[in-house]
Copies of this chain bind each other. A is one copy, B any other.
Amino acid sequence: MGSSIGVVFDLDGTLVDSVYQHVLAWHEALHQEGIELSVWRIHRKIGMSGGLFAKALLRETGRELDQGTTARLQQLHVEAYLRRIKQVRPLPGAKQLLGYLTQAHIPWGIATSGRRDTAAHAVELLAIPGNVTVVTRDDVLHAKPDPDLFLEATRRLSVDATEAVIVGDSIWDMLAARRARALGVGLLSGGYGQDELETTGAYRVYEDPASLLLHLDEIGVRSSF
């Protein structure tokens, strides 16, 4: 009997080192729309859906965002991020970890709150083959912390969500993993504290993909070769 386990990865901060560039790109976009928000507050919201982000903004700044402003903000963010994209690199061990899972015949895929166009760059950076499951914001109605992105990924992988390991760097990943009834595993490489990830339900927390690769046995991933 083979194992039916599968692994679903978040992208930004989990496999590619892009969180801080996304944070400062949002900071720039908000400033261009006349909205001043401290950088750390943006960091704390990164990875949640755009709709929730807009609502959180309203709570923090008292300013309600209409649909036009929201759309402009998203466009300004993409432009500001693209200006920083040359700085973005794979996280240590990311390619090796994905390569190992492929070799071990363990189904794996990507589920990101990001849009298809920015995700495409990260996928290329990681040299992920075209047949790999990559679910983006464009594929589901609700992004994280709703479980939809992860559930769509496990569906495409033909893995039961309760048998899936979900690897992410933010509390939104851990919350979405719980709501998908999957096992959440946290990485520190997005810049959040270990405690934050554990509190939101991470079963284990590792530094980065390289460190996770060294400890795969601790989360029940065994190769069938």
- Given the known interface contacts A38-B208, A92-B38, A196-B195, the answer about A24 and B87 at a Cβ–Cβ threshold of 8 Å is yes
A38 to chain B: which residues have CB within 8 Å? 17, 91-92, 189, 208
Q: How far is the CB of A39 from chain B (nearest CB, A)?
A: 5
**Residue total for A at the interface (Cβ-Cβ under 8 A):** 29
Contact with B along A173-216 (1 / 0, CB 8 A): 00000000000000011111111100000000000100000000
Prevailing SS type, chain A contact patch: helix
A148 sits at the interface (CB 8 A): no
Which residues of B lie under 8 Å from residue A13 when comparing CB positions?
40
Contact with B along A91-114 (1 / 0, CB 8 A): 110000000000000000000000
* Chain B residue with Cβ nearest A89: B36
Q: For A23, list chain B residues within 8 Å (CB).
A: 20
A188 to B39, CA, bound (A): 11
Sample 8 A-B pairs with CB under 8 A, ordered by A number. A19-B39, A20-B27, A31-B87, A38-B208, A40-B191, A193-B193, A193-B195, A193-B196
Residues of A that sit less than 8 Å from B by CB: 13, 17, 19-21, 23-24, 27-28, 31, 36, 38-40, 43, 87, 89, 91-92, 188-196, 208
Given contacts A21-B24, A38-B92, list 13 more A-B pairs with CB under 8 A.
A17-B38, A19-B39, A20-B24, A20-B43, A24-B24, A27-B87, A28-B87, A36-B89, A40-B188, A40-B191, A193-B195, A194-B195, A195-B196
